[in-house]
Structure 1
Amino acid sequence: MGLFTEILLLPFAPVRGTVWIADQLAREADRQARDPRLVQARLAALHRALDEGEIDEAAFEKEEDRLLRLLENPVRRVGGRPATGTRTRTPEGLR
């Protein structure tokens, strides 16, 4: 952006900053929600809750299905956006 545009947009800097922070928080929350280690830890906690009688079978199955879908279908992100195409990492490189 040019200097003139920056000067004109200066009054909106707090709003732009707030939007940027909200975007960063949403990206981090999504990354943590899809981290396989965290999903597996939530699955273990879910199994413990079922074993201890804290939740019923229906709630267990619903949450377990949701968590397993996260593990089976992770969304690769590039620059905060879902990646297009299906590329896989092999010993030879990306395909």
Structure 2
Amino acid sequence: MGLVSAILSLPLAPVRGVIWLGELIQDQVEQQLQDPAAVRRELEEIDAAAAAGRLSDEERKQAQQSVLDRRLRSAGGTTAPNRKE
């Protein structure tokens, strides 16, 4: 019975391979999003852009909040609703 099911499921092998590859890519992306060094580097780039005058203070705050929200979402946390300061 195992041989018959293996032969019948052989046409699905490419699909299983694509699914496996997709899961592997997803795992790598999640690891990169959760990497504290990557988050810090992105926040430093935002600060550098603000210091160079490419971002206003409000844009800088929004970009930083976006990075932190994404980090919290990828870590499985919940994000606080946006509040006006």
Q: Which residue of the partner structure matches residue 27 of structure 1?
A: 27
Q: As a proportion of its length, which structure holds more strand?
A: 1
Q: Which residue of the partner structure matches residue 11 of structure 2?
A: 11
TM-score with structure 1 setting the length: 0.64
| Runs of 4+ residues over 4 Å off in structure 1 | none
In 1, Cα distance between the equivalents of 2:48 and 2:28? 27
Q: Measure how far apart 1:21 and its partner are.
A: 0.5
Q: Which residue of the partner structure matches residue 57 of structure 1?
A: 57
Aligned Cα root-mean-square deviation (Å): 2.1
Higher-RCO chain (CA-CA 8 Å, sequence separation at least 6): 2
Q: Measure how far apart 1:74 and its partner are.
A: 6.5
Unaligned regions of 5+ residues in structure 2, if any? 77-85
In 2, Cα distance between the equivalents of 1:62 and 1:21? 34
TM-score with structure 2 setting the length: 0.70
In 1, Cα distance between the equivalents of 2:3 and 2:36? 44
Q: As a proportion of its length, which structure holds more helix?
A: 2
Q: Which residue of the partner structure matches residue 82 of structure 2?
A: none
